[in-house]
Structures are given as C-alpha cells and as structure tokens.
Structure 1
C-alpha cells in the first residue's frame, strides 16, 4: 500500500536501553493523523477503576493483538503474579529481549506527559543533557538547551558536575555518589523532574572556572536546532559544506526548523553535508520523512522507506515516498495543515555523525538515504544504537496510561533493515571519531566534524568498530533502559525508569 504523508504520521518513541525510538504510531492527539483506524486492542478492557490489574490486562491485550514478534512473547507469564505494568511488560517480551531485538523498547508511560512532549516539546528540568565517564566516574554536560535554567546559570557543553545538594551545607561530591551508588545515585541527588525542584550545583566550566549556584528546574521547550550552532555553512577551502546539528525529532513543529535549515542550504547551493545526529535518540518519524523530502534531489516519487507490520496486520504495510510538497504542523490547531511545495537540495555527499545513542528516526534517515548515495555516504564517530523497529501508542485514558509496544519495522528502498547491531556494518564508509566535549558542536576543529570534513574531501580515516553495547546484551530491561553507550568510555546519565522526555531525549535533566 502506498499512501501520502497526510495519511500516515508516526512517532518514534525511544526507550532503548535508555535511548531510542524506531517509529511509532501516535493516537490522534499527538500532533497529526495516524493510520486509520487507530490501533486498539481487542477486546478493549473495561476501566471502571484504575487498578494495577486492569492496567496489566490492558497491556496484555495490546501485546497479544499487536506485538511485532508474537512468537517471542512469553505465554507462560501469569498477569496475576504482577502488581506493576512495566514489570509485566518486561516479563512478557523477555524472549525478544534475549534475542536483542526489544531492548526495553516496549514500555508504559504517561499519556499527558508524552503528548506535551510531542505537541510542544515541553519538559521540566535544568535543560541539560548529561553523560558520565565510566573510567573515572565523572559527570559532564554534553549539551545545553539555550532556554533552560542550566544554560542561564553558565552550564554548557564540557561543564563538569562536581557536587550536588539541596543547600550549600549538604553538598555531596559526584565522585562520592558514583562510588557509593553509581550513576543512579547521581540521578537521585538531582531530584525529580518537576518545576520548582531546586539544587545547589558546584560545577567546573570548560574554561576551568568553578561555580557554585542554586539552579531551579523549570518547564522549557526543547529546541531541536540550536540557534548558536545548529545550522552552519562551513567553508572548507573553496567548497561550502552544510552542517546541521539535529538534537531530537521532537516536537511536531520542528518541521519548520527543518525547512529553514534546508532552504538556507539550497540558497547557498550546498551539495555536501554533515548531518550531526550524535545525541539524537529519535522522535517523530514524520519529521524524519520531512528531512528526507528536503534531501530528495531528483528522487521525487521514489521510495524513502517501507513500514512492515506483523502478518495479521499486514493490511497496514505501507510505502513512504520522497515528496515535493508536505503538510506542516499547525501548533494552533494541533493538526497538520494543507501540503505546501518545498525546496530541495541535491546531496552529492553526506557525512552522518553518530554515536551509540543515535537511534530510531536518526537511523531511519541514514538507512533510507543510503539507497541513493552509493559510496558517497559515511558514518562518522561510532556505531549507532540499532533500532529498526517502531512502537505504537495504546491508551487507557482513565489511568493516564499509554503502552508503547513494538508493532512494526522499517526498511529502505532496497528492503534493508534489521540493523539491530547498528549501522556501522551497513554503511559503505565509516570513520571513527571522538566526541570532543570541550570543543563546541559544529566547530571544524571538533574531532567528529573534522573527520566528517576529511571524508567529504576524500581523505582517509580509521573505520568504526562494529561493537554495540555488547556489555548489556541480555541484561534486564530496566538495566538496558538505563544504559546508553556513547561508543567510548562515556554513557548517557539515565534513570532506571525514565520519564517520557528522557525516553525520547536520553540524558536529559
């Protein structure tokens, strides 16, 4: 089945060990129409009261009817043995987890909180993304969202978090927290993701200045493209290179930012690109499709990707094509508007910067463009996470419960998918590169950007290792959700039970 964008909108809810996505079909409230009819388990459980048993019955009905791998559900699991819906989900999909194809991807979340994220990019926190060094137990800021209180306090990329307290009199050293309770102790010390939660933080900025300051968590909107470094034209000798740092495929309104970026590239006549997905754990598949449309070149009407469901739901299988006009999200109505003609660049070469947290929608873009660039595409950095499957959302409204269950997979125009081990072995060129957190993102001197420029210029490099999270394969779902390997000695700092924003934007606090 081939359908237009206005008939298919998908959200990639991440949840990979702590990273995520792959594609998911949201209910209509998530900012655009979803496949019709919206997936609903049969029979629909009754919800007279919001008990754990009813949540578990609902989740069980979802898995039985919709799970992509029905043969990998543990049918010996007794719902009556559980009083927590997430524990039940983890038990039922354990056979798929053992095969490394559902690494915490099936999960329970809040309808209200996830809809806020999808529609407006709203989240509560300091507005920073944190990682930790597994070799030295140190916590660093990987990037800062400019409209968060953390950035306003002087916290930015390369900042080291030294101590945390509720007051200056009870500061706990991060090194002590890591030694006593590991990363989760640091997560706990930072407090809940609620507006008004305040912590005294001692931190060292990238230039060596030590600051101690009280910082409050607040609601802030995620900006997928930084106004500081998100879109750049890098002059590499006589050649112009378009650089795009895309942080997350959320919220729905990010389509206008994508439009602005590629219109600038088109006006500059750029044909070689660096697309920086190094921390991008995924988001809305629709935005991945929109990005592909702006890079379509002469391929209008050709296959961008295919979506494949379980055999009993094969009527939902569909093909998405490159399009010359797209509907944009209208934040006033919460819906997609009428399709509008869009510009296109004509990519000759693309270097995609990626790391172990690069997942879902990011991988979908890379895998789809691979079919059209031949040997003129490269993966720069480390191997990606490996999530070619997507989740649909199933809502139990009375409980504010949304079950995100793996329901479909995506493949490219060459029917290539199943990259559960990451994309390093499938992309024709790879260049290993460090993530130099003490150099600004987008700076040509930053190692990953420098290696991307080397590839575009035809210079040689060292290939990426195909290793991907080998140390957590077969681990519990909770452990996998709390582990996002960045491909070196760093991992994202992630709670054992991430909130919706942290599922989608790993490391967010």
Structure 2
C-alpha cells in the first residue's frame, strides 16, 4: 500500500508540474505580414539625355538598320522602353556602346555643345602648332614634326617653324603611351630635334608653348598668284571648311579673278573637312558655269530616304550655287573662275568635305590629284540637340549634351560613290621629312609636281621613298571636328 501511495504522489507531482509549466509558457510571437513597397514608377522625363539621344538616332542615324534597338517596333510599350533607358545611366556609354555601330568611326557625342559649336566656327583653345606624330620603326617612342604654325598664335611668336621636330615634352620622351596626356596640357615645353639620313637627333633647343582660349584660325592659309614664265597660276592652301570664313574665301577668288589666273592648285593636304555648305560654295567658286546643276545626291537611312523622296525630294540634292549664305537676306555673290580643270594636293589627312570637292567636281571638269591617297570619308553628320525637333532653339537648359551622328552618304552627278579606301592620287608623292619645303613656294615638292603638270614640263621631283617612320596621328586628331563633314541645317522628318 505504501508503494502504491508513493506512486500516486509522484504522479500528482508530475501533473502539477505540467500544469504549472503550461500556465507560465510564453505565447508564440507571429511576425506581422509586411507588404513590399511598390517599385517607383519610371518615367521618360527621368532620363532626358538618353531619351533624346535614342529618339534622334531613331529618326536620323544613317546606319539605323544595323542597330536592332533602333527599330521602330523593338519596344512594345512605354514601360519597357523606359526600363531600357534606366539600364543605361552613363550617356557616353549608352551612345557609343548601344546606339552606334562598331563600324562607325565618326559619330560622336559631346557634353559641351558650346565648345563643339566654337570648333565648327574655327574657335578653339590652341597654341597654333600644327604637327604630325610619327613612330620610330620597331619602337614605342614617337616624335612630332611641324607642318605649319597658325598666324597670330603663341607658337608663331616662338622660334618654332615648319620642318622642326620635337621628341620630348617637359623633358619626357614621347611614347605611344604618354603623348596624349603630355600634349593635352595647356602649357608645355618642347625639346627640338632634326633628322638626317633617317636619324633623329636632339638639337638642345627648347620651346615653351601656351594654349589660349578663343583662338581663331583663318582656314585660308595661303592665297597667292604665281607668275611662272608669263603663266598665271593661282595657289590656295585651304585648311578647313569653316563657313564663318566664306567671305575671306570668296575674297581670295576675287583676287584670283582680278589677276587673270588660268589654272588653280588647291592645296588640301591638311584639310580634314568641315561644312558641306562651304564645300558647295568652293566648287561654285572654282567653276561658275554650272550654276543650279547637281553636285551631289544624298542617301539617308531607308525610312528617312523614303520620307524625303515622297515629301521633299529636292532636299536630297546639293547644287552648284551663285551666292554665299551669310545668314541674312543680303547674300554675297560668288566670285567664280569658270575653270575647266583643277589640280588638288591631297594626303592621308585629306578627308570629308575635301573629298566631296574632288568627287563632286569630276563629272564637270578635269580634276587631277597630287600627293597620297586620301582618307575615304564620304558621310555627312549633323549636330542634334535635346529639343522637340532636335534643333538648337529651345534646347533643354538643364544640360549641354548633343550628338553628332552620321546622317547620309552621297554620290556625285554621275552616281559615282567615293571609295572607302580613299581617292588615289593621279601623281603620287609623299611629303619628305628631310625636304618639306616652304608652303606656297613653287619649289615645294608637292606644289612643284602640280606645276609640272600644268606647264607640261618634265618633273624634277623624285618619287617618294619608302617611309622609315610610321605616321601615328596629327594635331587635329585632338579636335572634336577631326575629319568631320557636317550640315548646318537638317531637313525635318515628321513621323
């Protein structure tokens, strides 16, 4: 009985313990259900730069068919399109990596369109030194040689001149890895050198140069009439197609006309292009007897081309004209020479509007080229802004981004398209570092060769020797307008 009594007590104790534990147990905590906050709605206005670039390229880009995302039906709804914009936050990367084809070397964007506009007007931050950069064979070291010095520049006030070489900047040897950084400085000191028998040697002389804001260079570098044994021949060294100087260009032709020249040597050896309108003016100054006839025929992307053919077919044609556009109703009459032949000096730096001048004139007059093969750039671009019609007026005041895409290519009146490999010379001769000569002097090798053809004399100029140096670049390659051909007024496309 005692045994059973003890078991009963233990059982009661166990039940009492369980009851006590149950009464004091903590209630289970259940986390409240938190609804996720909805993602903020994306809007086109949040990505104005990307949006305007996309819309402009969708309308005007020459190579639109080669960029899948530019197809009109690529985005099925606005949210998808806006999400696409949001995924490309860096405008520079968005433009170059997404909107421009890999084969396109010339379309670009700027984050400062005021600087770009100044460049188109011939205004830049410059010391006036115009040079080529050359690489030593089998080496990463490079040197520069002076092509010419722009008048009224800081370089023109120094001892440096055409034909001088430089190997160091601020005492540092130029290489393919550092030249861009060294030449980008506003102030630097050049160590001068000379070349003899393909050997470059430093002279011990130095020149300090300073870049100045707002430097203006007149592209009409030399305009003179040569009188050679009674034959009057015009010589024009023209270094950029800048419409702001069309008046000065026209004045040069007025002087040629007054001098009674019978032939013209047009020196475009360093001319990388510029304004299409100025190229039309120049071809009209050289001729004059073809006023109103077709100079070039434009080819846009398929949609733009179809629109212009239907709505404004005349806008696809560039024609010889008789007046210079001055921006006012009082347009200036062009001084035309009515020539039937032309001799053009060109090199591997001759591009764009320079090539248009050659190709455009060939159906009408005999055009001979002297020098080396040109660049082969036969597409035009334009500046497009963030506005309702992509024009400069009413551009978005919150940023200064603009794009400069290629918008059309062209053929001449005989439907000849410029070769992408460049225009080959009829009479080949390369500039010789050891004998650059004086620009505009009849003995300068390239000018002398052109004069030989005009005068029918036996050439005393020796053919180019193979280069012992590799041409790497030139001073103009640092300019935003380098080898660009552009149109100022873009015809509107209504979609």
Q: Same fold (TM over 0.5)?
A: yes
Match of 1:155 in 2: 160
In structure 2, what is the Cα distance between the partners aligned to 1:213 and 1:456? 40
Q: Aligned ranges for residues 381-400 of structure 1 at < 5 Å? A: 381-396=371-386, 397=396, 398-400=398-400
Segment of structure 1 superposing worse, 86-95 or 348-357? 86-95
Match of 1:443 in 2: 441
RMSD, aligned α-carbons:
3.3
Match of 1:223 in 2: 218
1:218–1:292 distance in 2 versus 1, CA, 3 Å: same
In structure 2, what is the Cα distance between the partners aligned to 1:216 and 1:369? 41
Q: Please point out which of 289, 297, 303 is paired with 1:298.
A: 289
- Return the offset for 1:464: 11
Residues 207-239 of structure 1 deviation map (CA, whole Å, 9 limit, x = unaligned):
99653243221121021012xxx1121233332
Query: Retained in 2: the 8 A contact 1:383–1:464?
Result: no
Match of 1:288 in 2: 279
Query: Retained in 2: the 8 A contact 1:74–1:94?
Result: no
Match of 2:187 in 1: 198
Residues 20-48 of structure 1 deviation map (CA, whole Å, 9 limit, x = unaligned):
xxxxxxxxxxxxxxxxxxxxxxxxx9666
Q: Please point out which of 182, 188, 192 is paired with 1:189.
A: 182
Greater RCO, 1 or 2 (C-alpha within 8 Å, sep 6+): 1
Query: Retained in 2: the 8 A contact 1:106–1:391?
Result: no
- Return the offset for 1:413: 1.5
1:487–1:367 distance in 2 versus 1, CA, 3 Å: farther
1:297–1:210 distance in 2 versus 1, CA, 3 Å: farther
Segment of structure 1 superposing worse, 124-133 or 335-344? 335-344
1:310–1:341 distance in 2 versus 1, CA, 3 Å: same
Q: Aligned ranges for residues 19-168 of structure 1 at < 5 Å? A: 54-75=48-69, 82-92=88-98, 95=101, 97=103, 102-108=104-110, 110-119=112-121, 121-136=122-137, 137-165=142-170
State how many pairs are aligned: 399
Match of 1:356 in 2: 348
Gaps of at least 5 residues in structure 1 are 1-44, 166-170, 329-334, 466-485
Q: Aligned ranges for residues 243-322 of structure 1 at < 5 Å? A: 243-250=235-242, 252-314=243-305, 315=308, 317-322=315-320
- Return the offset for 1:404: 0.6
Give TM-score, length-normalised by structure 2.
Answer: 0.72
Residues 80-135 of structure 1 deviation map (CA, whole Å, 9 limit, x = unaligned):
665543333333466560xxxx223344452110122234x211121112211224
Query: Retained in 1: the 8 A contact 2:109–2:404?
Result: yes
- Return the offset for 1:147: 1.9
Q: Does 1:346 align with 2:343?
A: no
1:491–1:436 distance in 2 versus 1, CA, 3 Å: same
Match of 2:430 in 1: 434
Gaps of at least 5 residues in structure 2 are 1-42, 75-83, 197-201, 387-395, 486-495
1:135–1:349 distance in 2 versus 1, CA, 3 Å: farther
Segment of structure 1 superposing worse, 71-80 or 274-283? 71-80
Match of 1:500 in 2: 480
Give TM-score, length-normalised by structure 1.
Answer: 0.70
Residues 261-303 of structure 1 deviation map (CA, whole Å, 9 limit, x = unaligned):
1111111221211101111111111111111121223212222
In structure 1, what is the Cα distance between the partners aligned to 2:219 and 2:244? 10
Query: Retained in 1: the 8 A contact 2:132–2:473?
Result: yes
1:92–1:382 distance in 2 versus 1, CA, 3 Å: farther
In structure 2, what is the Cα distance between the partners aligned to 1:363 and 1:325? 22
In structure 1, what is the Cα distance between the partners aligned to 2:194 and 2:62? 46
In structure 2, what is the Cα distance between the partners aligned to 1:199 and 1:445? 34
Partner SS, residue 377 of structure 1: strand
Q: Does 1:491 align with 2:472?
A: yes
In structure 2, what is the Cα distance between the partners aligned to 1:79 and 1:91? 13
In structure 1, what is the Cα distance between the partners aligned to 2:468 and 2:249? 27
Residues 454-473 of structure 1 deviation map (CA, whole Å, 9 limit, x = unaligned):
222346789999xxxxxxxx
- Return the offset for 1:338: 1.9
Match of 1:168 in 2: none
Residues 43-72 of structure 1 deviation map (CA, whole Å, 9 limit, x = unaligned):
xx9666xxxx64334322222221112222
In structure 2, what is the Cα distance between the partners aligned to 1:304 and 1:487? 40
